[in-house]
Amino acid sequence: MRFLMVVIVSVLCLFWPHEVIGQKDHSGSDVNQTADLVLQLTKQGDFAEANQLLESITYTWEEQSTNMQPFFTTEAEQSVLLTLHQAKLALQSSDMEESERIDRVTSFRLTLDAVTNDSQPLWLFSETSLLKAADELGEAALLETPEGFYYQLNEINRQYQVIRPAVTIQATSDLYLLDQQLDVFLSSKEQVDSNVRAAYAVQLKEDIETMYEDYNKDEADPSLFWIMFTIGGMILFSLSYVGWRKYRASQVKEREKENS
């Protein structure tokens, strides 16, 4: 029995992962730290310094993305490059509003993080703010005048567009319906009554909740499969060992009979 336990522990030590499953920090820490600094400088209004650091990220990313390529898709890399370009335009613009600059740089920061880390990506922390905005949309939908409703809807769309590039890299659910939900009302010229607005607000909040819930469910699966694999492997090993001991004992008995 002691021999069996030693073998099982040895096998587990050999195959047990040294990193948390789902963590994909493959030489991406340098660019992430620099991107953090770029975002902080942008919030402080130091756009020139932030832009210089952003330029350095371009060269660092090109070098590191070559090594990281097996761990993300071409679409993910395109999302990083697109948000990087948008962040550059924001920092180099002379007339862009400060809030939009911050949103664009934040979007790049979240997208870069989504490529290098899916165990606890930064975009997940937007859930509280976005759901709060959805609740406020529901309240505004019940008012007689639609101005407050559309103001709040634009706020939801602003927050969603900041995280969307990062979400598309990692989310398991299709974002098409959520995109359509926002586009239909934002582009519509028709005036709708409070009942329609309220129903829309409820559905939109459900779609937002689904976006976060689907990711959380998918994130739990690898660990579950690893646990199943580990336990199943231990059981299989134990059964095989017991079977082998029985076979060995039977062989010994047969030899004893032959010798006698």
pLDDT tens, position by position, for the chain (260 residues)? 444 444 444 444 444 443 333 344 444 578 889 999 999 999 999 999 999 999 989 887 776 666 655 456 888 889 999 999 999 999 999 999 999 999 999 999 999 999 888 678 999 999 999 999 999 999 999 998 899 999 999 999 999 999 999 999 887 667 888 888 888 888 886 778 899 999 999 999 999 999 898 777 655 444 433 344 444 445 544 555 456 566 566 666 666 666 66
pLDDT digits (tens, 9 = 90+) for 167-190: 998 876 678 888 888 888 888 867
Domain positions in the chain: 27-117, 121-231
CA distances from 238 to 11, 17, 231, 241, 251 (A): 12, 21, 11, 5, 20
Is the domain spanning 27-117 CATH 3.40.50? The answer is: no
User: Exposure of 235 by Cβ count < 10 A (0-12 exposed, 13-18 middle, 19+ buried)?
Assistant: exposed
Three state DSSP letters for 77-136: HHHHHHHHHHHHHHHHCCCCCHHHHHHHHHHHHHHHHHHHCCCCCHHHHHHHHHHHHHHH
Contacts of 105 (CB under 8 A, 6+ apart): 38, 39, 42, 50, 87, 90, 91
Distance CA 253, CA 187 (A): 85
